[in-house]
Amino acid sequence: SAPLPPVEMFFFPFVGGGHQIPMVDIARVFAAHGASSTILAAPSSAPVFQRSIDGDQKSGRTIRVHTFQLHEDAVSLDTDTSAAPSTDTSALLEPLRELLIERKPNCIVVDSFHRWSAEVIDATGVLRIVFNGNGCFSRCSFEMLDAHKPHEGLDSEYEPFVIPGLPHKIEMTRSQLPHFHKAPPDGGNQPSGHRRGRPNNNHFGVVVNSFYDLEPQYVDCFRNVMGNRAWLVGPVSLFNRNVEDKAVRGKASSVDEQTCLDWLDAKGPGSVLYVSFGSLARLSSRQLHELAHGLEASGQNFVWVIGKVSGSEGNGEISADGDWLPDGFEERMGETEQGLLIRGWAPQLLILEHPSVGGFMTHCGWNSTLEGVSSGLPMVTFPISAEQFFNEKFIVDVLGIGVKSGSVEWSSWSWRNEVIEPVGREKVEAAVRKLMGGGVEAEEMRRKAKEVKEMARRAINQGGTSYADADSLIRELQNRNGD
Ligand code: UDP
């Protein structure tokens, strides 16, 4: 029979670290499975995507970036997402419609935050597949909370309750829940819908950055109980490699990568804790002080990425001379070589995979969670907002590879964390000691984490579930193409 025509897939990421990074990696996944992948971008984000793709020579041949031509005053999708995501997306409606009609791709994979685009896409007849950055565990948890509302009618924000209907006993407090009822800061994007993980209606299916063996019962729930057609193709960060097998990210690192690697090379295997809170979270300077004291007192080696500080001027970028660290802290860390501080953006995958790194203190963003899992690292969980408290339960209570730091509260929908009481230095120190101190419990976590890492690798390789899911979507699109 005649060869089937190639499959053309469009990817439409939402701008911002935790959204755009996995979407570009998903484009890599399908490119690796033979699709011709095109990433759609507004002018100011296009160079970032291009840089990320250029660094990845293998997939560079099959991934393109399409830049929407927009009037300068209408480039609304490119706002820094550390402020509220912009909602004025109307400038993109027409260019998107025209592009889809002209190119007729086999499908478009669109971030669930681009809800505005559903109508336009559906009107063109192009198959719409939704990408929502979370795993199945948090989505099933939301679904069960929504259905049973166990958190309503409690006396206190801190009274524990169990989420009904889940295969594991998951306890939460109301203070840890995203505020379904609060008005979101980003207006038109309607987070109440996607917060609950309910993908927009009428889509063809959902692409998920996870893998079956990581959360089998929750994948089954997501598919069979919640009724989603889902292709689980992750962990997609495992596709984020260039020929030298170095991590390639969209952003340039704020630290010389070689300096960072040399620093790590000088440490013993598994002796370093990597501390990072993702691309958006801003910790208060009080919290940073407690963290600094706790890390220092633990005596453990660490690499600590400090991205943004809340309450600072302008857009929250850190200043070189701020008072957000204890007096003399940085000098001491330099002298003793206990800690390496990275201000801004770190080469996270590179660090996580270095053999000297033995633990990960994380805010439990889903990408970071999966990256930790893929590197076989046990974690200290330090959730701050959004689904992160769910992911913490997943890491600690379901996977059994984490120690909680004790952060219990967020105070607003926003990622500007205004936690009233910071996690104290004693708690930080205790959690770090427990994870890195070599006790029986920690060793068991380390063993399990390595097991999960192997599962992740099996999933994406030929014969694995993520490989099969990616392949089956491509085949389905191919067959429709041939019809
Ligand atoms: N990241 C990174 N360097 C940094 C901070 C973050 O490469 O200094 C990457 C990290 O590897 C992950 C993403 O940014 O892929 C953050 O996504 P996540 O879902 O963990 O958290 P979010 O930023 O959405 O809160």
What angle is formed at CA 231 by the lines to CA 22 and CA 105, rounded to 5 degrees? Answer: 75
CA dist., res. 214 & res. 221, Å (int): 13
Type of residue at 37: S
Element (H, E) at 142: helix 136-148
How far, in Å, is the centroid of ligand 1 from the Cα of 368?
6
* Closest residue CA from atom 2 of ligand 1: 348
Catalytic residue, from 25, 33, 56, 111: name it: 111
How far, in Å, is the centroid of ligand 1 from the Cα of 351?
13
ipTM of the complex: 0.99
Q: How far is CA 370 from the centre of its chain?
A: 8
Residues 6+ apart with CB under 8 A from 378: 358, 359, 360, 401, 402, 403, 435, 442, 445, 446, 448, 449
What is the predicted pLDDT for the residue at 77? 47
Q: Are 106 and 6 in contact (CB under 8 A)?
A: no
Q: Which atom of ligand 1 is nearest to the CA of 22?
A: 15
What is the predicted pLDDT for the residue at 75? 43
Element (H, E) at 403: strand 402-404
The predicted-structure confidence for 51-108, as pLDDT tens digits, reads as follows: 888 866 655 567 999 998 876 544 444 443 333 344 456 778 889 999 999 999 999 9
Pocket lining for ligand 1, CB < 6 angstroms: 17-18, 21, 249, 276, 278-281, 305, 345-346, 348, 365-368, 371
pTM for the full predicted model: 0.90
CA dist., res. 21 & res. 33, Å (int): 19
Q: Which atom of ligand 1 is nearest to the CA of 281?
A: 25
Active site (annotated) includes residue 19 = yes
Q: Which atom of ligand 1 is nearest to the CA of 368?
A: 20
Q: Count other C-beta atoms under 10 Å from residue 436's C-beta.
A: 25
Active site (annotated) includes residue 220 = no
Tell me the best of 20, 21, 364 to mutate to test the pocket of ligand 1, counting ligand atoms within 8 Å of each CB and taking the most: 21
* Closest residue CA from atom 11 of ligand 1: 348
CA dist., res. 293 & res. 374, Å (int): 29
How far, in Å, is the centroid of ligand 1 from the Cα of 182?
26
Q: How far is CA 338 from the centre of its chain?
A: 28
* Closest residue CA from atom 24 of ligand 1: 18
Residues of the chain where predicted confidence (pLDDT) is lower than 50: 73-87, 181-199, 242-247, 312-316, 320-321, 412-417
Residue 89, strand partner residues: none
How far, in Å, is the centroid of ligand 1 from the Cα of 3?
40
CA dist., res. 140 & res. 217, Å (int): 10
Cis peptide before 191 (omega within 30 of 0): no
What is the predicted pLDDT for the residue at 247? 45
Phi and psi angles of residue 36, each rounded to the nearest 5 degrees, phi first: -90, 115
How far, in Å, is the centroid of ligand 1 from the Cα of 36?
26
